[in-house]
Chains A and B, each alone.
Chain A
């Protein structure tokens, strides 16, 4: 009886292992398929011109020669830079407040809750909000609105990861620093933040990767453009917006370029993610000796 039950359990166990293995393989296969397809469709349109020229022809697009996406690549990088300039300090400072100052103060709970909610807000909501608050009042799409929308998505993510990472810093560091006559702010700036620098930076990169692929908030804020302008008050190009624009185009040549844009976007995200792994691996290697 007991042995029979055991053999049933063995069968169930083997089934569970096989099932989870199959599910994992299926996911990896789908992902590999997607990546392969993007590569296959996109690589043909990748060329020197893709990175060095803006779209040519009139706004409706010259079907014969859609030109490159230089403007969109630069636009995305510029938007990320501007968004980081606002979102990173805001997020890190909020994380520092939550971890080091708020304690059990009444503001801590609501702040944490709001950050969690904001981190999960659908990005189209951020887009509409940006449109209402930053586009309509000034009368047109502009780069500032786009950067603000991205920063608004980044900040709560960074705040929460920073808080978590700072909490992992042993209290013995804080006590050691305070006992040497350091003020609380000196302790945070000189000991706590550097001790958590690696993982905090990882959180920043992940937030960057998240917003680099956002389309919805940009559609309603930065809009899009066929060229990049130094005037940030003008509609501003981005990879995702340009891909959206081309992918729905009636001209096959533009759809080709859209695939190349997707490929570049994926490569950008992959690079950020690899950088994160490298960073994590290095901080772990450094933390080890004891």
Chain B
């Protein structure tokens, strides 16, 4: 599973072509195939970290998707990953709960730590890991069963049988996902009858029903209309009081609205990582500035 160190090939062309002209040290370095160390602001490093990627690299077969990413994720905060398509944001969060295991030919090197232990260490209990790390997908994916059965799914698979306990946890999760009032009278109806936004909040409820420590969100609003997006964003803020949230987004306004910290990724590298306000208003690197102002990417 884990193999070589830094075999830096020249950056593959597609995304690089979209980059701005000369004068950008990091992009130049990436183009020359040199290792790049991301600028991580002190404010991030001072935070207690739940997840910590250390020199983490990933290959899909022969193509390298992540290049020695080192990145802590602060506890009980919302951290956003931004960057152009194909920069490795989704790949990175899918390593935290090892969903990338489902992809053929994936290799990783370096460490991906959850509370100090490497999730890729041999003998890791992947099922246990995924109980601790919830995930919300790009497209709402409620199962074709009732709303209630969806929410209590993670509890049932972990052996919870008590009806009263299930009912109580379902209500708590649905309240937590700000969905309870809308669905309390039709818990037994199919979840597929809900609107897209409701389905996504149901998926969030399902993800938090098992009380995970971390919630991963892979562009959770990209399939939603603006009103639903707003509701999910409010929800993200709310759940961050109890959970650590790591969210991938293509929408920079969204990142600035919901997150405390923002990491800018480019071509599989972490470029700049700091408090959201700093990244958007006062970034240290010209590349970040260019990207957040919408001039490339």
Q: Give the B-binding residues of A (Cβ under 8 A).
A: 170, 172-173, 175-183, 186, 190-191, 194-195, 286-287, 289-290
Contacts and interface: CB of A to CB of B under 8 A. Distances in A.
Given A175-B99, A195-B144, A180 B192 contact: no
B138 to A, nearest CB: 9
B158 A173 contact: no
Nearest to B132: A181
A178 B130 contact: yes
Contacts of B203: 176
Contact of B157 (A181, A286, A289): A181
B266 interface: no
Given A180-B153, A180-B210, A181-B154, A194 B144 contact: yes
A148 B207 CA distance: 46
A194 B146 CA distance: 12
Given A176-B143, A177-B153, A290-B192, A183 B127 contact: yes
Given A172-B137, A190-B153, A180 B144 contact: no
Main secondary structure on chain A at its contact with chain B? helix
B154 A180 contact: yes
A175 B192 contact: no
A179 B130 contact: yes
A115 B131 CA distance: 38
26 contacts: A172-B141, A175-B99, A175-B141, A176-B137, A176-B203, A177-B143, A177-B153, A179-B137, A179-B207, A180-B131, A180-B153, A180-B206, A180-B207, A180-B210, A181-B128, A181-B130, A181-B157, A182-B154, A182-B157, A183-B127, A190-B156, A194-B144, A194-B145, A195-B144, A287-B192, A289-B190
Interface in B143-164: 143-145, 153-154, 156-158
Given A181-B210, A194-B145, A286 B190 contact: yes
A289 B141 CA distance: 14
Given A179-B99, A181-B210, A190 B157 contact: yes
Nearest to B101: A178
A77 to B, nearest CB: 33
Q: Closest 9 A-B residue pairs measured CB to CB?
A: A181-B131, A172-B141, A179-B135, A181-B130, A180-B154, A176-B141, A289-B193, A182-B157, A186-B157
A11 B130 CA distance: 66
Of B137, B144, B145, most buried by chain A (CB within 10 Å of CB) is: B144
B99 to A, nearest CB: 6
B139 interface: yes
A175 to B, nearest CB: 7
Nearest to B144: A195
Chain B contact residues (Cβ within 8 angstroms of A): what range?
20 to 34
Interface string B105-148: 00000000000000000000001111100110101011111000
A186 B97 CA distance: 18
A178 B128 CA distance: 11
Nearest to B209: A180
B214 to A, nearest CB: 12
B158 A181 contact: yes
A181 B213 CA distance: 13
Contacts of B192: 287, 289-290
Nearest to B143: A191
Contacts of B156: 190
A10 to B, nearest CB: 47
Contacts of A191: 143
Contacts of A180: 130-131, 134, 153-154, 157, 206-207, 210
A180 B210 CA distance: 8
Contacts of B144: 173, 194-195, 287
Contacts of A190: 153, 156-157
Contacts of B131: 180-181
B102 interface: yes
A141 B114 CA distance: 66
A58 to B, nearest CB: 59
Interface in B178-229: 190, 192-193, 203, 206-207, 210
Given A181-B131, A289-B192, A175 B137 contact: yes
Q: Which of A173, A179, A183, A191 has the most CB of B within 10 A?
A: A179
Nearest to B191: A289
Contacts of A173: 141, 143-144
B68 to A, nearest CB: 26
Contacts of A181: 127-131, 154, 157-158, 210
A179 B102 CA distance: 11
B139 A172 contact: yes
A54 to B, nearest CB: 47
A166 to B, nearest CB: 14
Contacts of A195: 143-144
